[in-house]
Amino acid sequence: MIALAGCAVAISYAFLSEATIPVTKYTCESWQFADVHDDATQLSRGACAEGQRSHVTIKVGFRVYLVAVMCFIGWFLLVMFGGIGLSAVPMDTILEFKERPRAISEKDYQKRRKLLGTAAQALLQRSEELRSLDAEVVSQKGWRARRKRRSIQALYNRFKCGVILLEDEHGKLKVSKFERGENLVIAVAKLVMGIVSAILTITWILHIVLVVLVPQLDPDFSASMLDGVLMATESSGFYPLGVALFSVYTLYLLLCVVKGCLKFGLRICFLLSLHPMRPKATPLNSILFNVELLLISSAAVVQFSQTAFANYARLTDADVIFSAQIRHLTFYSWFFDRTL
């Protein structure tokens, strides 16, 4: 995979690494001597007053082109998983507080334990069926065998989804019985995080609609929203607060991507394998999967944040890289012009 991706990027760099940057070209029709005592307004009216749209073609470096490729791939992950995560993060956090484990009696514990045992027996039986199906197709070849393997993989993803849900319920049951319910501090912290994430989600959605989407439909419409708040912190001298807010909103999008991927896998388990993150119980392959997901989508998140907070991110390296170079690359400019 690394070799194929490296060859694809290296070959495409030779043909798609030119950026056509739009500029305004001024043609001076008259010469003005240095000893003329005209003010700036008169000079602008007399010389170089009319500009024409033109473009400048440059060849970007390989590192910038590599970021552009990551942005192109990461945008699909950001749109699909980030959109799901924007609503899933606050809802799931508040539901975790509402449905937190509470202290239960011995009778209720035995009843729920019996139900979980029945579900576990059904999953064990299902695992044996999947093992038998896998043993049948392991020696087969051809497109029918590949089709059967894909079907078995989808069934395995459904089975894994059931195992994860059962493990979550078993963990809650142990907390309810042996710890007499969840710690109140942890429960309140989940509620506070849910409220904060709901505020972040609502403000992000309003900002995207008013600052990113509406101006594309109506160029005369102008709104600042969160960008205005960040600019206010910069002009008033509280620039560390502006940097902190910008970091919170950007990192929150990355959290939404991870959460959306898990939520998508739970709902449509036949398309995507699940990789949940659990304290002290996360397999290595799940850690690597989520790290790769963050690395690929981080470039698209930074590009989107730079576009959403264009005034605050002005005259920065991100502005030069994403707005001036990557956005106007050959082939990628058609995609970025319709997404940003």
When pLDDT is averaged across residues 184-189 and rounded to a whole number, the result is 89
CA torsion angle 321 287 278 156 (round to 10): 120
When pLDDT is averaged across residues 39-44 and rounded to a whole number, the result is 60
Average pLDDT, the chain: 84
Query: Of 197-201, 220-224, 275-279, 315-319, which one has max mean pLDDT?
Result: 197-201
Q: What angle do CA 44, 50, 55 make, to 5 degrees?
A: 120
Lowest-confidence pick of 79-93, 130-144, 196-210, 294-308: 130-144
For 263-292, the pLDDT digits (tens) are: 887 776 656 777 888 877 788 888 888 888
For 44-73, the pLDDT digits (tens) are: 555 565 677 888 888 888 998 999 999 989
Residues 160 and 262 in one domain: no
**CA dist list (Å): 276 to 102, 168, 281:** 24, 11, 9
**CA dist list (Å): 60 to 23, 24, 45, 206, 335:** 17, 21, 36, 34, 18
Residues 200 and 296 in one domain: yes
Confidence band for 43, pLDDT divided at 50, 70 and 90: low
More confident residue, 333 or 303: 303
User: Under a CB-based contact definition with an 8 Å cutoff, are residues 249 and 200 in contact?
Assistant: yes
- Residue 221 token pair: 């419409």
When pLDDT is averaged across residues 226-253 and rounded to a whole number, the result is 87
Q: How far apart are CA 255 and CA 249, in angstroms?
A: 10
For 91-133, the pLDDT digits (tens) are: 999 998 988 888 888 888 899 999 999 999 999 999 998 888 8
Residues 158 and 261 in one domain: no
Contacts of 28 (CB under 8 A, 6+ apart): 47, 48
Residues 142 and 275 in one domain: no
Residues 322 and 244 in one domain: yes
Q: pTM higher than 0.85, yes or no?
A: no
| Of 274, 259, 276, 241, nearest in space to 197 by CA | 259
Residues 42 and 78 in one domain: no
Q: How far apart are CA 340 and CA 337, in angstroms?
A: 6
Give the model's pLDDT for residue 46: 57
Residues 83 and 220 in one domain: yes
Give the model's pLDDT for residue 221: 80
| Of 170, 151, 169, nearest in space to 159 by CA | 151
Residues 77 and 129 in one domain: no
Collapsed DSSP state (helix, strand, coil) of residue 260 = helix
Question: Over pLDDT 70: what percentage of the chain?
Answer: 90
User: Under a CB-based contact definition with an 8 Å cutoff, are residues 231 and 224 in contact?
Assistant: yes
Long-range CB contacts for residues 269-272, cutoff 8 Å, separation at least 24: 269/154, 269/157, 269/158, 269/160, 269/161, 270/154, 270/155, 270/157, 270/158, 271/154, 271/157, 272/157
Residues 162 and 43 in one domain: no
Give the model's pLDDT for residue 41: 62
Residues 135 and 250 in one domain: no
Q: Is 198 exposed, middle or buried (0-12, 13-18, 19+ CB in 10 A)?
A: middle
Give the model's pLDDT for residue 269: 62
Give the model's pLDDT for residue 60: 86
Q: How far apart are CA 268 and CA 83, in angstroms?
A: 15
Q: How far apart are CA 10 and CA 66, in angstroms?
A: 9
Give the model's pLDDT for residue 45: 59
186 phi and psi angles, rounded to 5 deg: -65, -40
Q: How far apart are CA 253 and CA 259, in angstroms?
A: 10
Lowest-confidence pick of 42-51, 204-213, 315-324: 42-51
Domain count, the chain: 3
For 16-37, the pLDDT digits (tens) are: 888 888 888 777 666 666 666 5
User: Under a CB-based contact definition with an 8 Å cutoff, are residues 300 and 218 in contact?
Assistant: no
Give the model's pLDDT for residue 47: 57
Residues 106 and 87 in one domain: no
Mark which of 64, 87, 118 sits at the end of a domain: 64
Question: Over pLDDT 90: what percentage of the chain?
Answer: 20
Residues 108 and 54 in one domain: no
User: Under a CB-based contact definition with an 8 Å cutoff, are residues 130 and 156 in contact?
Assistant: yes
Mark which of 47, 64, 81 sits at the end of a domain: 64
SS3 of 74-105: HHHHHHHHHHHHHHHHHHHHHHHHHCCCECCC
Mark which of 143, 160, 181 sits at the end of a domain: 181
**CA dist list (Å): 143 to 122, 139, 153:** 31, 13, 15
Confidence band for 253, pLDDT divided at 50, 70 and 90: very high
Q: Which domain holds residue 150?
A: 101-181
User: Under a CB-based contact definition with an 8 Å cutoff, are residues 166 and 173 in contact?
Assistant: no
When pLDDT is averaged across residues 299-312 and rounded to a whole number, the result is 89
